[in-house]
Amino acid sequence: HELNQPLAAIRAYGANGRELLIKGRIEEAIANFDRIAELTERMAGIGSQLKIFSRKSRGNLGSLPLQGVVDGALEILMPMLGKTGIKIDIDLDPPDIRVWANSLLLQQALVNLITNGVHAVQGQEHKQNQKTPIVAVSGRFFEDMVRVEVRDNGPGIGVADREMVFDPFYTTKPSGQGLGLGLTITRRIIEEMDGHIYLEEGGAFTTFVLLLHREPAE
């Protein structure tokens, strides 16, 4: 049922594209087909997220260099980032910081958070007095854990919405663009690794904080 919304959209764009072609409105028909291509790509993404969701993964934890996981996430995001021209600032200190995690799951969590950050700063682009968009990832030791931050200087999350952002299917994105599963899945992933995730309030940035273990729990 997570796929119903984009499926319905694809059906509508398909039917509409057919009518436009019959009427010779080629440009508009092409725009419809572009949307169908995007939605299909998106559905493939949902499929892989759901697979991750259902996978039993706790047995697959290990000590990983955070840098490698971040690089993997950026590679997945490359096509999207290339299109937007937004660069992600990465700051790991020390650079060889390691976390106790499942590499694919943590990579997916970072992809979800960075994607949200990019969407947030993109939404700002047409506004006046625009600030330079910033989406940044940092990693630091924090007591006996590793604190990973993904932050952006987009519009932020209103107090009323802060409770809801992790809820399944909560989205403020237009129909067909967001399913509201990204943060739900991300929280689930982090909790599978015995970590914590929360939204940090206040300041110039919207900051999602991950607290991850450095070593296996006793």
Please provide residue 182's backbone torsions phi and psi, each rounded to the nearest 5 degrees: -55, -50
Nearest to Mg ion of 35, 187 (CB atom) = 187
In the complex, minimum distance from the CB of residue 137 to ligand ATP, in angstroms, rounded to a whole number: 12
133 is a contact residue toward ligand ATP (CB under 6 A): no
Say which DSSP state 154 is in.
S
In the complex, minimum distance from the CB of residue 168 to ligand ATP, in angstroms, rounded to a whole number: 8
> Residue 175 corresponds to which tokens in the numbers above?
């129909």
Helices (H) and strands (E) in the chain, counts: 6, 7
Residue number with the smallest Cβ distance to ligand ATP:
182
Out of 170, 198, 211, 213, name the contact with ligand ATP by CB under 6 A.
170
Which positions from 173 through 192 interact with Mg ion, judged by CB under 5 A? 182
- Count the site residues for ligand ATP by CB under 6 A: 20
Out of 106, 181, 190, 210, name the contact with ligand ATP by CB under 6 A.
181
Nearest to ligand ATP of 108, 112 (CB atom) = 112
Out of 10, 36, 152, 153, name the contact with ligand ATP by CB under 6 A.
152
Residues 98-127, mask of contacts with ligand ATP (x by CB under 6 A):
--------------x---xx--x-------
Nearest to Mg ion of 97, 152 (CB atom) = 152
Burial class (CB in 10 A: 0-12, 13-18, 19+), 73: buried
Out of 173, 175, 204, 216, name the contact with ligand ATP by CB under 6 A.
173
Which positions from 95 through 124 interact with Mg ion, judged by CB under 5 A? 116
In the complex, minimum distance from the CB of residue 8 to Mg ion, in angstroms, rounded to a whole number: 20
In the complex, minimum distance from the CB of residue 43 to ligand ATP, in angstroms, rounded to a whole number: 11
DSSP string, the chain: -TTHHHHHHHHHHHHHHHHHHHTT-HHHHHHHHHHHHHHHHHHHHHHHHHHHHHS--GGG-EEEEHHHHHHHHHHHHHHHHHHHTPPEEEEEESTT-EEEE-HHHHHHHHHHHHHHHHHHHHTTTTSSSPPPP-EEEEEEEETTEEEEEEEE-SS---HHHHTTTTSTT---SPTTT--S-HHHHHHHHHHHTT-EEEEEPSSSSEEEEEEEESS---
Can you give the binding site for ligand ATP, defined by CB under 6 A?
112, 116-117, 120, 152, 154, 157, 165, 170-173, 178-184, 206
Can you give the binding site for Mg ion, defined by CB under 5 A?
116, 182
